[in-house]
Chain A
Amino acid sequence: MDPSDLPHELQDLERRLAARGRPEPSAGLRPRVLAAVRRELAARPAPTQWGWGGFWQYAGAAAAGLLLVLNLLMSMGNRSDFPASRAANGADVQQASALICELVPFITPEEAAREALLLRAGSHLEMVPQPRLGVTGLRALRQIEEGPPWVTQ
């Protein structure tokens, strides 16, 4: 907008506004602002240019990224992520899962499937004897370890 677009009265007002002068900052403002700038610069130093340190930082970040990608690819290849919903597709597991849901109504279908899988895994464990010796058995075992009692007659 050209100032001449203003009506004469407003132009006069504009001149008066400009003529009233500008408030001057105090002499202390410049050093105060520059001190604040200095403090801020010290708190936030400029990022270093790409030197050897920068190169190694970059190389380290790239290697970490590459390892992560390889790891994820291997996980996908081995199906080691093992999503329970897809794994529980055996007929016996589904049956067991349905039974668990029926027996325990408040359990979620996912949790039921997980429990069914655990049950199936448990059913494939080999039987291991777990002797329950009791007090007499323990006493007998201790006698075997310590040898026959001394006869002092």
Chain B
Amino acid sequence: MPATPDDLFEGLAAGREEAFAALYDAYGARLFAAACGMLGSREEAEDAVQDVFVGLVRARERLRHIENLKAYLFASLRYAAIHRMRRAKALQFDTAEVAMPAADAGPDAEISRRLDRALRRLPREQREVIALHIDGGLTFAEIAECLGVGLNTAASRYRYAMEKLREAMKEPDRGPV
């Protein structure tokens, strides 16, 4: 990873591959996890992460003006995910495909599977806010910046999503979505 954020921005703007590699090492896994939460498909999530980095190369001249690179990355990921969802309207979530590490066996595994299935039933806006916070590790301020909404809106959207998820967990499990 370059010594300072300025070095990183400089490297990205200059088109140095090692800067992009450092950025992937810093955020690649979290971007992928958040993309899985949004798209529900490993393959689509990997494509979305690739889209983000290709987009960064194309927009590298403008990166110097960005204040919060992390929020910018996740906002790009969100656009890439929405684009992919629109392109494949019939995209089906496959919870078995996006296997979580903790979801192998036992009662916790069953709860994890039910959580995943309940997540897939949420509307896109609510699903993405949970993916950004839980899987992407973004703060509410960063989510607000990423979604282009106010801090309170981001926080209340998250709360509604959690409430809806809780309601979905109370319903009898209907199996894979």
Q: Which residues of A contact B134 (CB under 8 A)?
A: 14, 17-18
**Contact between B28 and A40, CB atoms less than 8 A apart:** no
B159's contact among A10, A19, A41, by CB below 8 Å, is which? A10
Q: Which residues of B contact A10 (CB under 8 A)?
A: 159, 162-163, 166
CB distance from B102 to the nearest CB of A (A): 4
Instruction: Give the residue name and chain of the A residue nearest to B60 (CB).
Output: A46
The size of the chain B interface, using a CB distance under 8 A, is: 53
Per-position 1/0 for B108-150, Cβ under 8 A of A: 1001100110000000000000100011000010000000000
Q: Is B57 close to A, CB under 8 A?
A: yes
**Contact between B140 and A1, CB atoms less than 8 A apart:** yes
Instruction: Give the residue name and chain of the A residue nearest to B13 (CB).
Output: A46
**Contact between B135 and A22, CB atoms less than 8 A apart:** yes
- Of A25-33, A108-116, A130-138, A141-149, the stretch lying at the interface with chain B is A25-33
With A20-B103, A20-B115, A37-B54 known as contacts, the answer to whether A13 contacts B165 (CB < 8 A) is yes
**Contact between A20 and B54, CB atoms less than 8 A apart:** no
A21-B14 Cα distance, complex, nearest whole Å: 36
**Contact between A46 and B15, CB atoms less than 8 A apart:** yes
Task: Give residues of chain A (29-69) contacting chain B, Cβ–Cβ below 8 Å.
Answer: 29-30, 32-34, 36-38, 40-41, 44-47
Q: Is B24 close to A, CB under 8 A?
A: yes
Q: Is B74 close to A, CB under 8 A?
A: no
With A13-B162, A16-B111, A17-B134 known as contacts, the answer to whether A22 contacts B100 (CB < 8 A) is yes
**Contact between A24 and B20, CB atoms less than 8 A apart:** no
**Contact between A37 and B53, CB atoms less than 8 A apart:** yes
Q: Which residues of A contact B36 (CB under 8 A)?
A: 22-23
Best-surrounded residue of A19, A24, A36, A37 (most CB of chain B within 10 A): A37
What are 27 A-B interface contacts by the 8 Å CB criterion? Answer: A1-B152, A1-B154, A1-B156, A6-B159, A9-B166, A10-B162, A10-B163, A16-B111, A20-B102, A21-B102, A21-B103, A22-B29, A22-B33, A22-B135, A23-B101, A24-B32, A25-B45, A29-B46, A30-B28, A33-B24, A34-B20, A36-B53, A37-B53, A37-B54, A38-B17, A40-B54, A46-B15
The 8 tightest CB contacts between A and B, nearest first, are A1-B155, A22-B33, A21-B101, A20-B112, A25-B32, A40-B57, A21-B102, A10-B162
